[in-house]
Amino acid sequence: MSVILLCVLSLVLAGSGTGLHGRNASVSHEYCVLGAGPAGLQMGYFLSRSQRDYIILERNAGPGSFFQIYPRHRKLISINKIYTGRRNKEFNLRHDWNSLLSDRPNLLFKRISQELYPNADDFPRYLSTFVKELGLKVKYGADIGRIKASDFNGNQGYILTDQNGVSYQCSVLLVSTGLWVPQQVDFLGSDLVEGYESIPTDPEEFKDQAVLILGKGNSAFETAQSILGRASRIHLYSPSPVRLAWQTHYVGDLRAVNNELLDTYQLKSLDGLVEGRLEDIAIVRREKDGGKRRTAKKRSRTSTEGKEQLYLTLTELLDQNGNNISKVTGQNLPGFHTDNFSLRQPYDRVVRCLGFRFNFSIFDGSARPPQSSGARGRLPGITAWYEGRGMPNMFVLGTAAHSRDYRMSAGGFVHGFRYTVRAVHKILEQRYHNIAWPATKLPISQLQSWILRRVNEASGLYQMFGVLGDIILLRGSYCEYLEEFPLQAVPQLSALSGQPLTDHGLLVLVMQYGLNRTDTLGPGRAESEWTKAWRSNFLHPVLYYYNTLPTDKDMRQRPVGWPLPRPESVHHMVEDFLTEWDQPISHSQPLRRFLEHCLQTDLRAFYAESCFLLSLTSRTPPLFCRQGYLRKQGIVGNSHLWQHAREAGLMADHHGHITPGHDTSVSEYLKHADAAVVSTMNFDL
């Protein structure tokens, strides 16, 4: 009998989240990941692959709980383009905005949905599949209500306490809670406003109603679009004019999939946009018919007749001493003073759609990260390597880390932060486990082809434009290639990557938009002449060359809009309509000439006959001949290419036994990228 009771007690404790540790127990892990959203699970994958001691703590019963509620009208605006005409997995991630990174080629979002704009319910299903198939260590039902800093053997660690009193001690805290606290503005009458998080989603609830929406972001337009065919009048009010994503290149701005109200506004069909400070307004009640209430018998569910009307006014027009905003008169309304005031007509509902903010309340004074200077303080302040400012060993991941590239790049969205999370993991590996940032060792003669491969395939550079860049450490006859390093952390390159610097300088490869402001859809919006590549407006590769590593001061004084300080030399590869930088005259040749200028080396490629002749007639044959022809190195085909060449009669059968060399860094990269060639180069030059 006692055995049965013990089993029952164990099950009860496990169900309560305390396990056999009981209330006020303590659990220790090297890494605590707070939140099982996409950023937390992405970090969980990398920690699991590195066999680190970690736990992911999630307050809800499943992963991705934010997407169980938002967006309210259940349509994602993250692109799920599954047909690209390409089989290259890395390239295809450029157009897959929902999948997380893993070594499972079939663990992609397209397995769950093939819709270009999927239903929001599909994303938690995908995350659940991700957790299950990778065996990630997630503890659900752990609602962390307090986080405090503590000293662990001379280093700052963190103690997280859940609703059951269980404490989780961790040396490194990885915060990936996202943004879920509704952003609010305090103004008179704000209690009369409905929140985006609680409004009804049935359009019939808004039938023949006049609606004022506070905000002009995607949540505001999403709400407007859902009731566009039912509401009698929809006005959107906020301080800033609407910003269109296709104009700003920022995916957090208004997307075309949500902007039908722009048509009804510009075609004068009762809807519209107005600008004004939210802090200056007041929402007041005023009954119809001079304040005479109708009886409940005369009211109908769908009609607005007899309901209390809501007016937008200015606080300066109210007698706030009386403090009774329900009994306003005509003199209290802007329409009395300006008879063509845009918002003079009353509204049946006012809805707040102002986005979300980070939850600072769970951190006590010892562990609370500061608020960021941008994004209206909605985000925590972090360093260029995503560590909380003044909070050592606390890193912020995902949407909450968007302050580093707010309104500049895609770091606030899955298709962007999956790469910044990977970068943070590499930093963790170097700092806490002395494992240097992975680097590919390349002969200088192969650098151009490697760069071309990256600009044509790499998804991290493409999605996190202007934020992550490839670092090329020049070391004489060879170089070391580091992928997707945080650009704003370049002054700390050696410490964060574990890769030593030399006096040969470095190159930085970045994808970026042009700074020239043009009509996005007008004539002359694109540059096609390679000699004017620096005038490119659309996304294009840019190479920066530095003799020495830029300093923190250099970064602070960089030109406005530049991702990096002024270099010794810079090279823009002209924008391309197909985003394929592979043309010999417009792309390859200018790139080679730039590299030759920086390296002071002839990088031309030669046939074997030319190398033979140059070796007989020159004291110093070109580098390509020295590293390739004379030392029997270079690029050789894989088995598929050899077979094709033999079948075409271009090569004798005895060449078929040639196999790739032993440099795993190159061969693994090419294997991952579905490359058509593999390397047999000797990198010990």
* pLDDT for the residue numbered 331: 83
* pLDDT for the residue numbered 651: 56
297 CB-contact burial (10 Å; exposed 0-12 / middle 13-18 / buried 19+): exposed
* pLDDT for the residue numbered 303: 44
Distance of CA 648 to the CA centre of its chain: 46
* pLDDT for the residue numbered 364: 95
CATH for the 190-289+307-352 domain, from 3.40.50.920, 3.50.50.60, 2.60.120.260, 3.30.70.100:
3.50.50.60
* pLDDT for the residue numbered 465: 97
Rounded mean pLDDT for each run of 10 residues along the chain, 685 residues in total? 39 39 80 98 98 98 96 96 95 97 96 96 98 98 96 93 96 97 93 95 96 97 96 97 94 95 96 95 73 37 60 85 64 86 94 96 95 92 97 97 95 97 98 97 94 97 97 95 98 96 95 87 89 94 97 95 96 96 95 96 86 85 79 56 60 47 47 41 33
Written as six digits, the tokens of 144 are: 């962390």
Cβ atoms of 75 and 436 closer than 8 Å: no
Query: Nearest CA to 484 among 511, 460, 453?
Result: 460
* pLDDT for the residue numbered 325: 63
* pLDDT for the residue numbered 101: 98
Q: How far apart are CA 164 and CA 654, in angstroms?
A: 71
> 26-179+357-426 in CATH: which number?
3.50.50.60
The conformation of residue 582, written as its DSSP 8-state character, comes to -
Cβ atoms of 564 and 485 closer than 8 Å: no
Domain extent listing, the chain: 26-179+357-426, 190-289+307-352, 437-599
190-289+307-352 matches 26-179+357-426 in CATH topology: yes
